[in-house]
Structure 1
Amino acid sequence: MLCKQILAIAASILLCMTTSLGLAKERTYDRDSIKTVILKRPAPLSRIDTISLSAHERELASSPIREIIKDQFSPLKKQMEEDHNADVEAYVNKYTNQAFRAHLSKMKGLAAYYFPIFEQIFGETGVPQAIKYLAIIESSLNPHAVSRVGATGPWQFMYTTAKGYGLKMNSYVDERKDPFEATYAAANYLKESFNIYGDWLLAIASYNCGPGNVNRAISRSGKANPTFWDIQRYLPAETRNYIPAFIAMAYVMENTDLYPVEANYTDMPTDIDVILVDKNLSLSSIAKVLEIEPEELYRLNPSYKRKIIQGDKLNPSRLIVPKVQSQEYAKLYSFLQGNSPATPAILEAQNQDVYIVKKGDTLDGITKRFKGSTVSSLKAMNNLRSNVIQPGMTLKVNQD
């Protein structure tokens, strides 16, 4: 029975989803351009009345599990060193402890929303599906998580690294918090590291402490092609524990029969639509059209600091909304095209961030109306080469 469970776990981890989310740069808003991602919650656990681990479960959690882990994570490890699995076992014990159940329950609830997104992107980029569990270790699946050193988002990118992988960060958006963009960046980083080291666990170690630390640890190990376990003791203390924690979390999350914890579902929807927007729109105005609470869109679009989407024809921005019912498509289409009676709500909602130049206006005069704006920032935001402005121009403005 245990062997069958292990095989099932391994098969689920190895499965790569190959369908598309439809995230290509689209420029029209007919019904076909509104792409849908179906996120399905797993069936409720049948053993929800289980309060604590059975004697068998405690025994398994504290016993050597190297062979189970080796089978389960074959895409990540060519070979697991037996002498180091006590570290993983310690984290399995931690995660299956009664005190950890509430956190594990929350993670399972959030995973119902985030994991399908991660799985699709990893499938597209050739990253093993099991790496999705790394986001639990990184951020507890919190897009607003910020570490003590400033790493931000579900994949905890530092500012410089994020810039290097094409994530936008300015006064309007921080794509480190975008579950789509940040996951693509994380996948690219991990894939590049794997191409260097030829080992997924070393790639993950590099993600945590940087390639410099991994390279020094490899050099100190004296081995030409070491595994993570060969260099573990030469790595920073955090990274030594990072890999065992990741493997243990994946093992516990996958092995629901042995560790039955009911998911604590959040307010995140199970079905979403992903739409590319080529204009400036406030999330509150979109919520009004869809007749939902603005907070729901704020949760689904955590990267927009000012709750405003700034898109254009060449670089449309992503909007995530709860699944749009068929009768709502026409209304949403009309709104995005600017033909809806609700369009004035967009302008009204954006008056504080978009200014239409009037006769007699100067850049200096406009900055005095909007606290936080300067002449230089206005010129930079609007690609102005001089201080000359014309009536009717639409300017983006900063306002604290």
Structure 2
Amino acid sequence: MTFRLTTLACLLSALLCSVPAVQAQTQDTSVAGVETRAVEDVPATERESAPPVDIWDRIRRGYGMNDLNGPRYRAALKMYARNPKYIQDVSSRAGKYLYHIVEEVERRGMPSELALLPFVESAFQPEAKSYAKAAGLWQFMPATGNVFSLQQNLWKDERRDVLESTRAALDYLQKLYGMFGDWHLALAAYNWGEGSVQKAIRYNKQRKRKTSYPYLRMPKETANYVPRLLAIKELVANPDKYGISLPEIENAPYFVRIAKSHDIDLKTAAALAEMDEAEFKLLNPGFNLPVIVASHNSVILLPEDNVEIFMNNLASWVNTGKPLSSWTLYRVQPDETLKDIAETVQMTEDELRRINHIPKDRNVLPGSMLLVSANGQSTGEITADTMDARLNLSAPETRRVIYRVKKGDTIYDIAVKYGITQETIRKHNRLKSSSLRIGQRLVLIIGPKTTLAKGQRLHVVQPGQTLSTIAQRYGVSVSSIRRMNKLKGSQIKVGQKLIVGRAARRATYVSDTTHIVRSGDSLGTIARKYGVTVNELRQLNNLSSNTIRVGQAIDVGKPIASSSEPHGEDVHVVRPGESLNTIARRYGLSVEQLRRQNDLSSYSIRVGQYLKVGAADIETQVTVHTIQEGESLGVIAERYGMGLNRLRRINNLKNDSVRVGQTLRVIPGAQTKTQEGTAPNANVHVVQAGESLGVIARKYGMRLAVLRQLNGLKNNTIRVGQTLKIQKPAVPNQTPN
């Protein structure tokens, strides 16, 4: 029995021992007598025994995460593969940091894909800062950075520090993996927040749905987050397959930690290492100020190749007795301003603000610590008790408001409501178009509140607006806006704040334009097109909601001051038989000026319509004219391009009688004097701003070709101030009966 058992054991042993040999034999293949073997078929022991060729090879060997193969993954892979230069640029930046990150990942037993996460987070830019205030290679938010012991103070921001941020990121990822037991979910939580992922999992569980990463309801950014990392993983694994050329990165340390015991200017440290300052900052991006304080920051990072150079140059510098730092601290005293401090320390206020990161709309408060120039004096090292030194600033002159878009809202309406410009809304919310969706969250940066008297309101000038259009919008006069805001002229700029009084009566609307609704139109798009608000359109068209239909006629008139009679001297009520031409002549305006002042898109007007006939927004300037012998009121009016009625009105004249030496107030258009050699009462016209040759021809009832021929013009180009000969309609001779 014993023999038989022993024999059986030997047979089993021989059989088991022969299995590897059989397997190895079946894996080998030959083509044309040449032995070949796929890389994947190299025994694991053989692969692992050979050292990694470079850092990329080392990363590939440590892959340990499950793959995804959904549409988001394929889209990410396609996106990256189509941009090989982007991958090469990011990979080149990664060369400074990858060895250290891979070392830390392997030391913790984590999958090496995680070393590639900064590809997705920051594109390996250690000074990257997101709109949401996340910072560094690993994009830590301020609050999360505090949880993981990343110091953020006057001196440094360890969210940007290469060593500390890597430590904190891997701590956080390990914690998340411990919570979820799945790297995909851990990464989703890193991007979205652990509470959000837990809530999404609970939501699916309650509905008996799968709770793995691809099945959770999450924001688009988070849904794309893991697929993008796995796409980078695939490109690193098979760069040739996708036409990617990864830069050579040795599997060796790039930088070395250097301990220091003295304060040193960042610029000086870079010079001693014979490095460009920008290159030095890429390894030491966590320092906030131009001095590296030894008591707060005991380590700097230098490329391994520059360490010996730095040490030799440092020894030579110290032997000269020159200080390594040119900065010291200054405590702000009560009643001191930045301007006062700048004069004391022989700096400019702008320099103080730039070096200490003080915004222009903030002031420093007493007790604040400022970094200032030591002016060549030896002030000693900055001590450790200043670690908690703070920069206390006054409240910002702006405040941040979160606004939820409501039905019918437009960017224009929101800008007007909150007294800001459309451009600031687009900028702070990264809007590429004017389209908004209901419920959309907008960040509004609003300036300090302006104290207004009863009945006043604040208007922020929007693109394309003039004093005239603003006055029409609120049903007030241009002169009242000028007076309230102490404006000398009519020039205004986008973003300027204007105080506007309330109209004495409710505004009504002059409608000279109708818009036919087309497919895709909304009240918002129509309002933007014609420079009115949605509420104004609804009021004008008696709409109870924002619903409109294709083919519907929408009145898109403009508001002007309403009254049963002309409201003041600068308003004209259209009477039967009048045209823009006759009204413009009566008030000494060009037709184009009249259209511009009333925002008319055509030449059509109707009986009873109110038109503003005051001076044009631009080019109007009161001048005094002294009457010469032989001049009449008509001659003077024609000379200055004014209407007789207007000339009488601004001089309070009851008739046309004038005397030599009398002074008259005149408001010239583009014309200030007749062309030399032309009699004052000649048939001439001086071109005014906004006029074209066609407009002038219509004004005088001439054909365009005749006007060109009369003035020897080869084309329709004319300039403001140019004098043109015109033919007035002939007056038939009248003989007494």
Q: Common fold, TM-score beyond 0.5?
A: yes
Give secondary structure in 1 for the equivalent of 2:255.
strand
Give secondary structure in 2 for the equivalent of 1:177.
coil
State the partner residue of 1:205.
188
Counterparts of 1:139-218 in structure 2, within 5 Å, are: 139-218=122-201
Matching of residue 87 in structure 1 with residue 72 in structure 2: yes
The separation in 1 between residues aligned to 2:184 and 2:381, in whole angstroms, is: 53
State the partner residue of 1:226.
211
Unaligned runs of 5+ in 2: 1-28, 30-36, 346-351, 354-363, 372-378, 394-737
Counterparts of 1:26-41 in structure 2, within 5 Å, are: none
The separation in 2 between residues aligned to 1:214 and 1:87, in whole angstroms, is: 19
* 1:253 CA displacement: 2.2
Structure 1 residues 36-87: Cα deviation after superposition (integer angstroms, max 9, x where no partner): xxxx7779xxxxxxxxxxxxxxxxxxxxxxxxxxx9997333xx67xx6233
* 1:274 CA displacement: 1.4
Q: Could you tell me which of 303, 314, 319 is aligned with 2:300?
A: 319
CA 112–287 in structure 1, closer or farther in 2 if over 3 Å, else same: closer
State the partner residue of 1:340.
318
Structure 1 residues 253-281: Cα deviation after superposition (integer angstroms, max 9, x where no partner): 22123123234689xx9832211334422
* 1:198 CA displacement: 0.7
CA 261–194 in structure 1, closer or farther in 2 if over 3 Å, else same: same
Give secondary structure in 1 for the equivalent of 2:97.
helix
The separation in 2 between residues aligned to 1:293 and 1:112, in whole angstroms, is: 17
The separation in 2 between residues aligned to 1:72 and 1:41, in whole angstroms, is: 10
* 1:237 CA displacement: 2.0
The separation in 2 between residues aligned to 1:375 and 1:4, in whole angstroms, is: 72
Q: Could you tell me which of 344, 360, 378 is aligned with 2:369?
A: 378
State the partner residue of 1:21.
none
* 1:325 CA displacement: 5.9
The separation in 2 between residues aligned to 1:96 and 1:133, in whole angstroms, is: 16
The separation in 1 between residues aligned to 2:197 and 2:98, in whole angstroms, is: 28
* 1:157 CA displacement: 1.0
Q: Could you tell me which of 254, 258, 273 is aligned with 1:275?
A: 258
Matching of residue 136 in structure 1 with residue 128 in structure 2: no
State the partner residue of 1:68.
none
Equivalent AA in structure 1 for residue 287 of structure 2: Y
Give secondary structure in 2 for the equivalent of 1:141.
coil
Structure 1 residues 78-134: Cα deviation after superposition (integer angstroms, max 9, x where no partner): xx67xx62331222122212xx12101112212222211211222233332111222
CA 108–330 in structure 1, closer or farther in 2 if over 3 Å, else same: closer
Give secondary structure in 1 for the equivalent of 2:71.
helix
Give secondary structure in 2 for the equivalent of 1:241.
helix
State the partner residue of 1:56.
none
State the partner residue of 2:289.
306
Whether the aligned pair in 2 keeps the contact of 1:76 and 1:199 (CA below 8 Å) is no
- What's the TM-score, normalizing by structure 2? 0.37
* 1:158 CA displacement: 0.9
Q: Percent of aligned positions with the same letter in both sequences? A: 22
When the two chains are superposed, the root-mean-square deviation of aligned CA atoms in Å is: 4.2
Unaligned runs of 5+ in 1: 18-39, 44-70, 356-360, 382-390
Give secondary structure in 2 for the equivalent of 1:168.
coil
Q: Could you tell me which of 218, 226, 230 is aligned with 1:247?
A: 230
CA 147–393 in structure 1, closer or farther in 2 if over 3 Å, else same: closer
Equivalent AA in structure 2 for residue 227 of structure 1: S
CA 178–329 in structure 1, closer or farther in 2 if over 3 Å, else same: closer
CA 89–135 in structure 1, closer or farther in 2 if over 3 Å, else same: same
The separation in 1 between residues aligned to 2:243 and 2:39, in whole angstroms, is: 14
How many residues matched? 314
The separation in 2 between residues aligned to 1:329 and 1:287, in whole angstroms, is: 9
The separation in 2 between residues aligned to 1:42 and 1:317, in whole angstroms, is: 32
State the partner residue of 2:715.
none
Structure 1 residues 138-161: Cα deviation after superposition (integer angstroms, max 9, x where no partner): 111111222221111111111111
Q: Could you tell me which of 85, 101, 104 is aligned with 1:121?
A: 104
Whether the aligned pair in 2 keeps the contact of 1:145 and 1:153 (CA below 8 Å) is yes
CA 242–42 in structure 1, closer or farther in 2 if over 3 Å, else same: closer
Counterparts of 1:8-47 in structure 2, within 5 Å, are: none
Matching of residue 75 in structure 1 with residue 64 in structure 2: yes
Equivalent AA in structure 1 for residue 148 of structure 2: Y
Q: Give 1 or 2: higher helix fraction.
A: 1
Equivalent AA in structure 1 for residue 288 of structure 2: K
* 1:392 CA displacement: 7.7
- What's the TM-score, normalizing by structure 1? 0.65
Q: Give 1 or 2: higher strand fraction.
A: 2
State the partner residue of 1:59.
none
State the partner residue of 1:259.
242
CA 85–326 in structure 1, closer or farther in 2 if over 3 Å, else same: closer
* 1:363 CA displacement: 5.7
Whether the aligned pair in 2 keeps the contact of 1:363 and 1:378 (CA below 8 Å) is no
Give secondary structure in 1 for the equivalent of 2:154.
coil
Which protein has the larger Cα radius of gyration, Structure 1 or Structure 2?
2
Whether the aligned pair in 2 keeps the contact of 1:213 and 1:236 (CA below 8 Å) is no
Equivalent AA in structure 2 for residue 376 of structure 1: G
Structure 1 residues 337-387: Cα deviation after superposition (integer angstroms, max 9, x where no partner): xx822552413xx23x346xxxxx9966898335566542239x9xxxxxx
